[in-house]
Structure 1
Amino acid sequence: MPLNSFYLMPHPPIIIPEIGKGEEKLAENTIKACEKIAKDIAFKKTKTIIIITPHGPVFSDAVAISYSNFIKGNLKNFNAPSLNFEFKINKDLTQSIIDLADKSNIPLAIITENSYKEYNIPFILDHGAIVPLYFIAKEYNEFSLVHITYGMISPIKLYEFGILIEKTCQNVGENIAIIASGDLSHKLKNSPYGYDKNGEVFDTLLLDCLKNGDVKSIFTMDNKLIKKASECGLRSIYILLGSLNNFNFQGNILSYEAPFGIGYANIKFDVISKCENKLEVIKHAIKEKITSIRMKEDPYVKLARESLEYYIKNNKYLKIPNYVTDEMLNQKRGVFVSIYKHGELRGCIGTIFPTTNSVAEEIIRNAVESGTNDPRFFPVEEDELDELEFSVDVLMPPEPAKINDLDPKKYGIIVRKGIRTGVLLPNLDGIDTVEKQLEIALKKANISPEENYSIERFEVIRHR
């Protein structure tokens, strides 16, 4: 078993003494656990470390993998310009991973010294990799790297990429370690990013699953919970778990703390025994989750989803189905359809006033527009459909308003100056103040706050 060491490590630069300048002592347990992992890697005389980071070049449609003889980086952005690092890349293993990914239909972006010209991306070692490697290199430096940055592709694809990594390592005659670099929730108490009670829930649930080797529960976790936790490590963990696909394991939690309001965990994963391929079990659990979500859809959400699915598969609009209610057929309203993928916005387009003969027709048209014509996103593709969740807002007639009349939880707003118009729906995550709501709406309309603009407010009936 050449790939024989599996770890989760955090990457806060503040735990490096040259950066923390004394504050690192608040994360003493984290530092000790990082040092323990470094000693374990040294004891095993690990020859290659595969590190998965959130802070290299992140692509929406591919995993990034660095390909060159060496990769170097520094921590000058964290006021430590003297800390420079250079590691040899295991080009043979990297190339083998690239070749197998190509055959397995897993999208990879190969990052080289020329990537600055192609992607406007510098070829550097990021702090998500540097911080764990800082502790390892102090203890042991006879290793080369495979440097991977996760992409925003589906969790199951990331898991399959982990399977591919483990398969590639089977033919290598040396000890290999894989490190998932990632911090947990950024929304714990005293966090500079703000507090959300869901952060603690997320960290507790994830750590419990990792401790008990419960992979299925990780892949069926509530997307809204993940989003509210504001983590950066889960996608690294998906790949790591894929590399453990054929094994029963336990997570030995060496440390967990949050001295700065961000969850830091060090975990060493201990293989217990071989097991059957877990991939199909996970896929089945995900399908059951999707079915459960679909069963809870009301006619508005169901129509939005089926409209986009039908259009993408048949290149024409869905006819109004039988389950549509009289209210949807007889009312004329503006409608916004929002699409989410893994908790992140995937498209949102709507109409302030009705443009068709009914709310039902408005949903059909705007669901297709949201999925295919939102200029912020590439059009939705057929293989994404099962990963999407929908929200439908039926707009009440807008009314003139002053700033004092606004409430971002209750009212959406429309700002106008001539032909420039900006619309923002109510009760959106992260928009808790009138000032923030106005700022975003004005930016969407390209209206300066100093201009003389008009404001309207409106309520919505949200179906989600």
Structure 2
Amino acid sequence: MKPLFIIVILVLAITVIIIIVAKNNADKEENILNFLDKMEKEKKEKIIRMPAAAGQFYPAEAGELKEMIRSFLLKANPPQGDGELAVLIVPHAAYQFSGEVAAFGFKEVALNKSAGFETVILLGNSHQEHFDGVSIFAEGKFKTPLGEVEVDSELAARLLKENKRFFFGQSAHQNEHSLEVQLPFLQEVLGNFKIVAALFGNTSRDDWKILGEAIAKNIGNKKILVVASSDLSHYPSFEDAKEADLKTIQAILGGKPEELEKTLRDLEKKGIKNAITFACAEEAIKSAMFLAQKLGAAKIELLKYANSGEVALGNKREVVGYAAIGFFKEKTSGNAFELKLSLSEQKELLSMARRAVESFVRTGKIPSFQTKSEALKQRRGVFVTIRKEGQLRGCIGQVGASEFPLSEVIPEMAVAAATEDERFWPVQESELPDLKYEISILSPLVKVNNWKEIKIGEHGVFLRNGLRQAVFLPQVAVENNWDLKRFLEELCVNKAGLEPSCYQDKAAEIYVFTAQVFGEN
């Protein structure tokens, strides 16, 4: 019996050992898989494209860079674009040469911030690496001295699946300056946005259309801005450059990519002394023009032209041409927003709002303000929003035009937002340094007959249903990533105190408006 008993015990022990070993191996395999998944996620998160042009094309120190960009924007005075900006062509030389021209384009972006751009599609031609196809940055972030900009990996992934000519070649982007130099301007005027960065490899004359079609197919309802990065003529004399660039610009203003291509080929045949190209990112420009057609941006305006011979550091023997050109869509009928405050006027109003709140909290008095700006004497509907550490701290305003000018009503609304918003305790003096101010200047209200006419990111909504009424500013839907139905349901429930479907009631009256929205950085 004893030998048999010992054998049974040994078998049981061996079985237990086998089970334990098998479990340990399974746990190890699961741990390995989890580790690999974690590594893959971290790899994606760690793809950060570091700045290659900082310190050469623009200042590497954040404060100096901000100051330079703001000085350019303050000087920029583009013609008032009649419509909503959809596509932009801007130069990409060192800021001391082309920054002032680029600022005219990005000033338009600032003036169109109320459009709620979610993603900026950057188009350029590779200057550093020769390859076949289009390199689209797949995921990760682009870093500049002003911070990091996230890649719209979802849209990038859809594009990469569209055509075999599209791929992610990280090395193509690594040292490329043409897209990078646009980012600090965009960070200054937009703040929160994502990008899709696409570089043409300069080997196919058809890629521009292939990419344009892919983008148009995949953007859906996403609010995009297309920015093509290109300089014009390279190295002819001052006068030759002006003459050649004029022809190139006229072709772009004509809106037909094929005509631009013909113009550039004709210029190349002229044998202009020292000229090596007349548009260093021809494919990027043509793709942008193609997208403008698809987006219905039929109004094209030259915002600014100059060449390197016109700046202090330049010479007129060999120059490079620069142009900022905007493509505009028509705004919703009856809802045009004529008032466009300049950056200096925006800054003045924001200063009034801050000073009014700080004075009232400390002394109980609202100071009076004087302004020389005629725009700030207009009467408009306004809202003032106050945030603390990124969170809402108060928001009050009025939808209809005030009987008082902007320079008077905005200080009043700022103090009301700080002290009378029933959702919050009044602002205390200790909080003042942590507050950030945002102002929304509203267009006149326009009644819509069907709620489906409302455009997310463009329209604010004023709802009246019986004795209840409520308002949401245009940026609310964008900030919360709401679709139209959710936007209106939230308005009904949380603002009007009604059922989620109240906007569909026969008694409901719906009005839309646009807004010029600007705030402290």
TM-score tier after normalising by the smaller chain length: 0.3 to 0.5
Please, what TM-score do these two structures have when normalized by structure 1? 0.38
- TM-score, normalised to structure 2, is 0.34
Larger Rg: 2
